[in-house]
Homo-oligomer: A and B are copies of this chain.
């Protein structure tokens, strides 16, 4: 019998039933492991692994043909060195996180524009202060760097909330979702930054995106700019961003991703001015909707895999996404 290992803690009974049934229909048997490890002595039994296993599980899976990651940003598992052979297929779960991360971006953007951390501090001190100036998403000019599922889910919501202009920035010039007022390429980023009031970064970590928001580009942002990053911390020159925030050269930032993670207890990011930090939670498995969609996408691709059809979310391990 061909075998699948499902290595993840987030599955409920419905998820397990759906995976088991789909697998049976496709001629597979499934073992469920509640956690991130599978037993060493069983590793060679599995042709397919689904979930968020510890990276070192993979190497011992000598008969592995397909790793379906239950997460979207697979930069940490693209390298051939983690695999028993270079032909192992890797798919990600891009598409499961659009809703939850878009809601995170809307929330932190409004918190920064509406001075919510300041008001929360005022309330903690039991004071009654009402006069801090606020801003609005309505009428704002927004740049979305990374126009995939996450960026576009955010952009649609921002459009519905009355954003004046939404610019999408992507690798190629091909047409984007209708919610974008214009599409720019990475090469044209320098033109867009000076007119950007809200910069949302939702990029995978690839050789092209590492350091894309460089010190020079941070300097192109206007003083009212806020920066929201939900992709990977590596996309930003973090040192330069901290300096810009502490010197109030830009208005604020919300980072859900940073370098390194977890953030060491003595790291200066914890104390950076006008910075709203969250511990990489915008897109994790906390939302039932995300978990359901993740399982649905695996089952869909399992049918494709069994039938010899192309996998829908196949990662080019050389490019990194």
Contacts and interface: CB of A to CB of B under 8 A. Distances in A.
A8 to B, nearest CB: 13
Nearest to A265: B126
A172 interface: no
A279 B161 contact: no
Nearest to A289: B136
Given A107-B116, A119-B281, A279-B123, A160 B160 contact: yes
Copies assembled: 2
Interface in A104-120: 104, 106-107, 110-111, 113-114, 116-117, 119-120
A303 interface: no
A175 interface: no
A147 to B, nearest CB: 19
Interface residues of A, number: 50
A217 to B, nearest CB: 26
B99 A135 contact: no
Interface string A110-148: 110110110110110011111111111111000000000
A103 B284 CA distance: 25
A24 interface: no
Given A107-B111, A278-B119, A279-B129, A99 B287 contact: no
A138 B289 contact: yes
Contact of A278 (B123, B138, B162, B279): B123
Interface string A278-297: 11110010111100000000
A78 interface: no
B123 A270 contact: yes
A156 interface: yes
Contacts of A127: 279
B161 A287 contact: no
Given A106-B107, A136-B289, 20 more contacts: A99-B136, A99-B138, A100-B134, A100-B136, A104-B110, A104-B114, A107-B107, A107-B111, A111-B116, A117-B120, A119-B279, A120-B120, A123-B278, A128-B263, A129-B279, A135-B287, A135-B288, A157-B160, A157-B161, A160-B161
